[in-house]
Amino acid sequence: MALITCEKACFAYEGRSIIHNLDLQIERGEYLCIIGENGSGKSTLIKGLLGLLAPVRGKVSYGDGLTRSEIGYLPQRTEVQNDFPASVWEVVTSGCRGRSLFLNAEMRRNAQKSIELLGISGIRNRSFMELSGGQQQRALLARALCATRSLLLLDEPVAGLDPLVTREMYDVISMLHRQQKLTVVMISHDISTALTYADRILHMSQNGVFLGTPDEYRASELGRAFAGGVRNA
């Protein structure tokens, strides 16, 4: 059953129509990569899936027990986050506070589990500001895990990271998808990575969208134009 369904959804940003008549079902357990040119509406769509932006026409609905407050979200990196005056533990547990202002025993256990899954137990008490970019992203991903048991929305999670840390981050996300059975929706500019990890590709462009498997994408006119000779890693 679909966790999120878009039916003829149209979204506008600052008064300008961005996304037109989008039909999309995000199924439980899948890995969906959203790719496309700048300005094609990828981040606008994420805001729509999160319920932060209402469609001007059509609708977005949640199913299979999912609610808006149970979506784990990792936004794009910004310079502001580098000056966040908190410990890793405080950053991670802030992901639980969408449900309660106070941490109970279960929330603490979930936060510790997320920290262990992301391999950051050794920096649990360090200042977030002192961390490398990769460590910060792991802490923020652990925070997103605290908010969900089913769906992660990731907006360019490796932007600005070096190649080695980028590969490690993709491997961590893949582990969460395969081992923890999380549904993953990720915006990426890396078509090769999308073809390697995704179950389906959503390519957004000014002339419409493509939605299908990696093999279907390679065979499509849009895929041939953008993916070229890219092969799975």
Distance CA 112, CA 58 (A): 40
pLDDT bin (cut points 50, 70, 90) of residue 81 is low
Work out the percent of the chain whose per-residue pLDDT is above 90: 73
Kindly report, residue by residue over 107-150, the tens digit of the pLDDT. 999 999 999 999 999 999 999 999 999 999 999 999 999 999 89
Res 228: pLDDT: 72
Whether residue 97 has pLDDT greater than 90? no
Kindly report, residue by residue over 169-209, the tens digit of the pLDDT. 999 999 999 999 999 999 998 899 899 999 999 999 877 78
Contact status, residue 18 vs residue 44, Cβ threshold 8 Å = yes
Res 77: pLDDT: 80
pLDDT, average across residues 21-45 = 93
Res 80: pLDDT: 52
Tokens 């769906």 locate to: 151
pTM of the full structure: 0.91
Kindly report, residue by residue over 205-232, the tens digit of the pLDDT. 877 789 999 999 999 988 888 877 555 5
